[in-house]
Structure formats: structure tokens, C-alpha cells
Structure 1
Amino acid sequence: MSEAEAKQIERMKAVLEAQKAAFRTERHRPLDKRKADLDRIAGLCRTNADAIAEAISKDFGNRAREESVIAEIAFVIQDAEHTKKHLVKWAKTRKVGVPMTLMPGKAEIRREPKGVAGIVSPWNYPFQLAMAPLVAALGAGCRAMIKPSEYTPGTAELMKRLLADAFEEDHVAVITGGPAVGEAFTKLKFDHLFYTGSTQVGRLVAKAAAENLVPVTLELGGKSPAIVTPDYPQDAAAKSIAWGKLFNAGQTCVAPDYVLAPKGSERDLGEAIINVAAHQFPDASSDDAYTAIVSDRHYDRLNAMIEEARQGGAEILQPGHDAQAAQAARKIPPTVVLNPPADAAVMTEEIFGPVLPMVGYSELDAAIDFVGDRDHPLALYVYSTDKTQAQRVLDETMSGGAAVNINLLHLSVPDLPFGGVGASGQGAYHGEAGFLTFTHERSVFSTGKWHPSRLLAPPYGKMFETVAKRQMK
């Protein structure tokens, strides 16, 4: 660990203590102040949209501005405004019924902020995946510390500056640094820790948080399948799947990770997807609308996956491109891998790039079993004009979220909880689910000065027996 990292770790410990102290002085932040916090988030997004998109693009080597605007900046603005609109309703104390045997009395559920939240955000959507959890935390009345990914340092520094201008450090703070700082961050005694990233690192984060019994939300990933049934128009499937897979060059946790197509149609569907890609990006190596791979390490990993599948007998489909120019720009051309070996990395690891395996299935049962035999994915997509078949896929599989005849966009519906299940994550956010993630639902039961329960105290006698018999009926 470097001296700079050691100083940063000491600093973040001091920030945590300052935020905890500030929370103790304002345990129940008024709703009007929370709304003002959300307005500040939306405002900094609008005012600094160009700077945010530019920083993200620089971190990636090239990121399509349109993708940053719609998936990062506009997303956060809408999230903040939706939270503000519904905040009073979400924060309201809920009254619940009281059994006759416990009367007289009243019971209620108070929705109270947990305290200080730690947010660990990834590189693939470096602004949105830091700010959306922050929106939820601020809406709940919490204070927050954010640890962005070291792979997108420019965006991290910009967020640090923008949030420092908008909030006091004892309210919102950004902690930058490398893996040593990130590891130390996850070991802090937050009141809630929110992590977005890989399943492998998620396990380590959960272990670190467990030492202090810190509750954790894990937004992970996995291999999200797209099942195409025989009745669905091939061109329509190709257009939808190509868009979802190639948005942000496939560096999206809910991008289709592989396609299950009716046996015999794999090549036709694969070629249709490549044709769509070639139309969308006539020259992937030089087209600014086509996003680069975030780092040399990630670029090399994707190339190795393609080559391994090729060596294993899979056929590789790609549009025409300048290979040298693509390499210089750190861009992987849109790639379809036809029927790769089952043990190839493209079929066992989350791809996180514009590489799409295509696997044939004989009947729908086989496709459902294929998904069921693997870890539960973060998302599942089914393309079918037959509502019965689509419903059957949903009924017989499990995933964090799902969509029918579309992909990706389920996470943009504000009131749909977004999160994984099993290996793809635990917990959810967006909308009220996000508010509740950073909220403690406190149970309160109150009575008058005297309560009949006094009659049930020892020494036990006939009164106790009478009441117990009634409750046992």
C-alpha cells in the first residue's frame, strides 16, 4: 500500500465519523430538505451534462455521447424527480391492525433512515450507477459515501467535484483510489453497504461487510439469456437483440449474454444480427457512436474469449472492419459466436462486451432446462408472439428481472424493483424499492398506562389459562 493510499484510507475513516456525527444530530431529515437534496442532484446533472458525457468518453477512450445522455444523465434526473414526487407517500408511517387479544393498543411501522450508506460503484456506467443509489439514499434521509471505480478516474474526479460543490462532506462524499482503498472502504462500519459489480468481487464485499454485520445490497450480474421461440419474426428479434447487446458495446450488466434459438436457425439469426450491427455502425473501428472497451485488460480478455471459442470449433461472425484500426481504438467489432463449446469462457463467464454466443435448442423444454441448470441470471428475455409460451418461460425460470419481446428497458421503469437473485445479487433498488433499501422499517406498539397483559404475569392462574385457550383456538 502506498503512502497516498494510506492517507486516503485515514481520510475516509474521518469522513465516516463526521457523517455519523452529523446523522446523530439530524436523525430524521425533514422531507423538504430531502427534496432539496434531490433537486440539487437533478440540477447538477442538467448543468454539467456536457462535462459528464465528455469525462465518461475520455475514460472509455470513446463513449457515444448519446448513450451517456440517455443511460446516465437523463436516467439520474428522472430517478431524482420520481423519488421527489413520491417521497411523502413512501416516507409515511403505516398503521397496522392489532389482534383483539392485544387490545387496547395501536401498532405502526415507521420508515426511518438507516444512517450512513456506503456506495461502491462500477466502471461500466460510472455516473448512473453511483448517482442512482445516492438518489435512493438521500431520499431515505441517509448520508452517503461513494467509492467509484478506478477504471474511470476522470468521471470519479468530476463527480467528486460536483458533489463537493452541492453538499457538505458530512452529508455526501466521494472517495477515490485504487483496489487497496476500495477494499478498506468495504470494511468500514456503514449502516448499509451498496455494491454494484462482479459476482466474484461481490462475494468478497459480502464477507468484508459481515465482519461488522453491515447489511449489504449486491447488484451483480451473470449470463442473461435471450430465448427466441420459432414463431417470433427473425428480423424483429435481430433488431432488438442487436440494440441491447451493442449498447455501450455490450458493457451492460443486463445485456443479452447469449441467445437460445431454435435449432437450425442459429446461423440465419446470427447473420441477421450482424447485418443490423453493420447498418447501425458502418465502421465500428471509427464510428463515434460505437463505444470502445474500457481498458486494455478488458479488451484482451474479450479477444481471448473469441479466439478460444474459435479454436474450440465455433464459427465467428463479424461485419467487415479494419482490424488494425479497431485494435488501435480498443474496439471489438460486433461478434456472434455460433454454437461454442459448452465449457468455453463465452458460455461460462459473463462476457461484458459485444460478443454474443448463439446456441440452438430442439424444443422449448430444452431451452428452459438450459437456463435452469445455471445460476439465476440478472435478466431474462423471451421473444415470442405466443403469450402462452412467453408466460411458460417466465413461470418455469427464475431471474432478477425479465422482459418479453424487448430487452434492457425493464430497468428504466421507475416503479419496477431492479436487482438480482441468487448469484446475480441480493436486494433491489429503483423507485420505492430503492427508498426502502436505505430505510429501516421500525415497528412500534403502544398502549395506555395500563394493559390487560398485566393479568398474564406470574404467578400463572385461571386468567392465564382462559386467555391461552382462547388464543389456541
Structure 2
Amino acid sequence: MKQQFDSLKQQFTQSPYPSLAQRTQWLQALEKGVRHYSDKLCQALSIDFGHRSIDETRLLEIMPTLSGIDYQIKHVKRWMKVKNRQVHYSYWPASNQLMPQPLGVVGIIVPWNYPIYLATGPLMAALAAGNKVMLKLSEYTPATNSVINAMLSEFLPEQVIVIEGDAEVAAEFSSLAFDHLLFTGSSNIGRKVMQAAAANLTPVTLELGGKSPVLIAKDANLASVMPRLLFGKTANAGQTCVAPDYVLLPREQLDLFIKTAKQRFKRFYPAGVQSTDYSAIINQQQFSRLQSYLAEAEQAQAQIISLDEQHWQQSSQRKLAPQLVINAPLDAAIWQQEIFGPILPIMLYDDIEQAISFINQQPRPLALYLFSPSTELQQQVMQRTHAGGVCINDSLMHVAQDDLPFGGIGPSGMGAYHGEAGFLTFSHQKAIHKKGRFSSGRFIYPPFNRTFFRLILNWLLR
């Protein structure tokens, strides 16, 4: 791995500022690769999960990848331009500029839940910025990794190296002296990645997660809320870093919420968990973890309601129907840990202040979802809460916006990418101050006991 890194580093040194034409060519090659391998990617991912809808993968991974690449191609020319900055008159004649410069070799650590989009998203940004890339893929998606490796070997053999392996390999990968390292995954592993990167003073972007709240106001229409909320929770069976993690619900709306949720799940998935559109949990370890959350809540006398009344789970297929959990104690795992699955705790509130206060008492989340038609309440919540990103009257959709940065805050991450934010993340904004034959600096050079120097200094300090 170290030899591969050194090879990329040497290649970059030989061409440290790729042209617009080269970068556009790389992005176009990535687009061609994704289109050419899209069927194989979707099929491989379903194999890795045990079952995942081909259409869902096309919707959640292939489509945003192609949209993102197209956006990069259209805008990279503007992003690459050297930008003029103001010069204070005391330094005239001169010019100030910012020159976006590629960093070098970028490391990207990809999680298992969206291994296509969370590989290609940072990759396209790094390529647009003119970098070489090493991708560390998850050991839990071997079939998908094989296809990604074949795709990149065919379409971007000189720009990208793919690494596979377990936690030991990931640790070695994190310790390489990258010029930037982007990690997507859990907070616990993120801390280890950051610690390893610190030894090389490698800057990091961490996309973590956390417990993303859904605040449903009293004036929200549950018939309108439910399909948007449930889509966010059931997409990839809830195995999404920005999935709605828990709901803050007006107490008087509980019965209607349960009824509406059951009806909407039945419309989404007529065959319940047996529907071919409903994804499985990635592996037995994750499936058992979710089962343990439910068992703990049940022992604590919480009310658990399955949205699939006939089959709440299919253990042999690792399929788990969405479970509403009401009145679970706050020290239970479903309130303390990111759920990352189709379990939805509900906290009932009587006053909006109570709900906002609860959100602010928790670690800052990667996403926050507010459902309310009130612009006054929307502004209030935006000003009084923190989150990496926000959807108002929807869920998940902010991540798909190419012109919005995506990233966390505090425990949910640091740094951002997508669109121009990704280009900036993987570039250095080199500051350039330029003078010609004449320099006004001559008036402030020593010796300082000159009368003219005193006049100049007094004028500057006036």
C-alpha cells in the first residue's frame, strides 16, 4: 500500500496542475464507467446486502452520481479560475489573487451502506480539483468492490487506486501521509482515523452521522408528512447516515401518526417486508444489533408497533419491518446510539419549546427535519438549533442537491463536500500578492529614523 501511495505521489509531482481538459476527461471517464457498469454495480450490491432493490440502488446511488458528475463538468472551469482579491491602497501598485491548486494524493474511506455513491461522490470532487486518489472500500461489500475496482481500472487506471481489506488495512491506510483524507462512517472509527491522520498533520473531512431528529409541529398535516418521512426511514431499510433517527411528535397526534404510518407503509410496500422493493439489513451482526435494541426497549415496557402487521421480520432474509417505539427510557440504546435501521423512537411533547430544548440537549446531528408550514417556526428552529444540514417539509433530499455542501458539525463530522464545496475541500486556495518593478514597500524599509519613514508610519496609523 505504501508503494502504491508513493507511486501516485511521484506521478502527481510530475504533473501537479492538470489542465481543465484533463480534469474534464477524467470526469467524463468516470461517468462512462458508471453508465457502463451500472447494471453490474446494482446486482453486486444486492448480493452484498442479501437483497437490495435494483431500482432503489439506481435511484439512491447511480442517479445522484451521474447528476453530480454532470454538475462538476459544467462548473469546474469556473471553479478553477484564478480569482482577484482587493489590495489596500497603501500597497499599490500590486494585485492579489487566489489560485485553486490541487492538493496531491487524496485518501477516501468508503462505508458499506452506500458504497457506490459514497465512493464516487468524493472521487468526482477530488478529480475535479486535479488530485490523484486512493479509495479504501469496505470489507462488507466484496461483490460491489470487485465491480468498482474493475470499473476504475478500465476507465481511470492512472488516477485511482482501489484498496480493500479489514480494520487492520483501514488503520494502515489512515496512517499514510495523504494530502487530505475523507472518511465516512461511525463516530468511533472517525476518532481513530483522525488520530492516525494527526501523526502526518493530514487534514481530514469526517462525515459521521448521529441521531437526526424529526420535529413535527402541531400545524403539520400528517397525511402530507408521512410519505416524506417514511421514504427517508425506509430507504435502504434505514441504513442511511441522514435517515430520520427519532421523531418529536405532539402528544395528541400519536394515534393518527400510527394509523397514517401503517397505511403509508402498506402503500409503499404492499407485500410488507417480503416486497422486492424493501432492502435487507447488510449482515447478521447489524441485524442482531437492531434486534437487541428492540428487546431492550420491550423489557423496559416500551410500546413497540410494527408497520407490517403480518410479518414484523424475516430473520432468514435479514429483513426488519419499520418499528415504532413509544415510551422507551432515555437510557435505552435506541436513544443513546445511532439506530441505522428501520426502528423509529417517538418522543411525545406538549410544547414546541420542550421539543427544541430536547434537540439542543443532544449531540449536534448530521441532519434535522422540520415539518411545519409556519415560516415563523421554521426561522425559529433554524436559528436556535444546530445540524449539518436541514430539510424543511421533507427528508433526505438536501443530500441530493449538487449546489449545497454536505457535511456534519461537531460529533456528526467536520468539513463538507458536494459541488463547489468538494472542489474547495480538495484544493488549496493559494494566496498570491504580485508586484511589478516599483514597490511601495521601499518607503517602510529600515533605517527607521528617517523623517520620511516617520511621516509614512504616522499616515498609516492615523
- The interval holding the TM-score normalised by the smaller chain is over 0.9
Contact kept? 1:150, 1:177, Cα under 8 Å? yes
Aligned match of 1:444 in 432, 436, 452? 432
Aligned position for 2:24:
35
Aligned position for 2:81:
92
Report the secondary structure of 1:27's partner residue: coil
Distance 1:427 1:108 in 2: 24
Give 1:309 shift.
1.1
Give 1:452 shift.
2.1
Contact kept? 1:92, 1:110, Cα under 8 Å? yes
5 Å-filtered alignment, 1:79-228, equals 79-168=68-157, 170-228=158-216
TM-score norm. by structure 1 comes to: 0.95
Distance 1:130 1:143 in 2: 14
Amino acid paired to 2:36: T
Contact kept? 2:115, 2:144, Cα under 8 Å? yes
Contact kept? 1:136, 1:438, Cα under 8 Å? yes
Report the secondary structure of 2:280's partner residue: coil
**Which ranges in structure 2 are unaligned for 5 or more consecutive residues?**
none
Distance 1:241 1:46 in 2: 30
Aligned position for 1:18:
7
1:435 and 2:385 matched:
no
Give 1:285 shift.
3.5
Against the structure 1 CA distance between its residues 100 and 238, is the aligned structure 2 distance closer, same or farther, given a 3 Å change threshold?
Answer: same
Aligned position for 1:373:
361
5 Å-filtered alignment, 1:451-462, equals 451-461=439-449, 462=451
Report the secondary structure of 1:173's partner residue: strand
Distance 1:285 1:228 in 2: 26
Aligned position for 1:236:
224
Give 1:464 shift.
3.1
**Residue deviations 1:327-386, cap 9 Å, x none?**
000011111111211111111111000100111111111111111011111000100011
Distance 1:265 1:307 in 2: 26
Contact kept? 2:82, 2:98, Cα under 8 Å? yes
Contact kept? 2:16, 2:102, Cα under 8 Å? yes
Percent identical: 38
Report the secondary structure of 2:215's partner residue: strand
Contact kept? 2:34, 2:151, Cα under 8 Å? no
5 Å-filtered alignment, 1:310-349, equals 310-318=298-306, 319-322=308-311, 326-349=314-337
Give 1:234 shift.
1.5
Aligned match of 1:406 in 388, 391, 394? 394
Distance 2:298 2:270 in 1: 24
**Residue deviations 1:57-112, cap 9 Å, x none?**
00000011111101111111111111000011011000111001111111100001
Report the secondary structure of 2:71's partner residue: helix
Amino acid paired to 1:367: A
**Residue deviations 1:361-415, cap 9 Å, x none?**
1111111111101111100010001111122111110100001100100111110
TM-score norm. by structure 2 comes to: 0.97
Distance 2:453 2:358 in 1: 58
Distance 1:292 1:380 in 2: 25
Report the secondary structure of 2:310's partner residue: coil
**Which ranges in structure 1 are unaligned for 5 or more consecutive residues?**
1-11
Aligned match of 1:293 in 264, 267, 281? 281
Q: How many pairs does the alignment contain?
A: 460
Distance 2:223 2:382 in 1: 23
Distance 2:272 2:460 in 1: 71
Contact kept? 2:125, 2:426, Cα under 8 Å? yes
Amino acid paired to 1:233: N
Aligned position for 1:467:
456
**Residue deviations 1:174-231, cap 9 Å, x none?**
0011111111000000011011111111111111100000010001101100100111
